[in-house]
Amino acid sequence: MKKIIFALIIIFVMGLVFQLIRKRGSEYFSNYLDKMIQAGENKNLDEFTDFFSIHYSDENGINYFYVKKIIESQFNKYDSFEAVYDNLDVSKYYKDKSGNTQVDLNLDVFVTGFREGVPVEILGVSGHLDNITLTLRKSFPNRWKIVSIKGIDGNTGY
């Protein structure tokens, strides 16, 4: 009987530890996204593109260099930006085919660009947030970089 109670206590404690680690991960990636948004709102091209991996590739065949051109084009096209996100869900860490540690961030996002004070919806429509998934890979030295984005349909004003 004591062994069963001890096993239940161990399982309970492990569950609490897992929840704490997951919550800390959500806080870390929330801070990560906040920094990324700040770089975008400041229109700091180098700082913003530093969140993307040189190995970026998505389901639409877009690579890092194309992403950088898109971002630069948007920074030139709009005077300022506002971005908000909600419902951040951080997956468990996993390994890709090459053994790299990755994580998926699923979130709802709304991005507005302003040109001469006029708002233009870039992601999201009429105040409704778009759901996207960012895949991040842990790179040297202990930094997370975006290697793929899913959920952007191409109708974002690019």
On whether residue 46 sits in a domain, the answer given is yes
**Residue 74 β-bridge partners:** none
The pTM for the full model equals 0.79
pLDDT digits (tens, 9 = 90+) for 13-45: 444 344 434 444 689 999 999 999 999 999 999
Q: Which structural domain range is residue 89 located in? A: 2-150
116-to-78, 81, 113, 120, 125 alpha-carbon distances in Å: 8, 12, 10, 11, 20
> Count of domains in the chain?
1
On whether residue 110 sits in a domain, the answer given is yes
On whether residue 157 sits in a domain, the answer given is no
On whether residue 158 sits in a domain, the answer given is no
CATH number at residue 127: 3.10.450.50
Q: Is 100 or 20 the better-scoring residue by pLDDT?
A: 100
Q: Is 149 or 20 the better-scoring residue by pLDDT?
A: 149
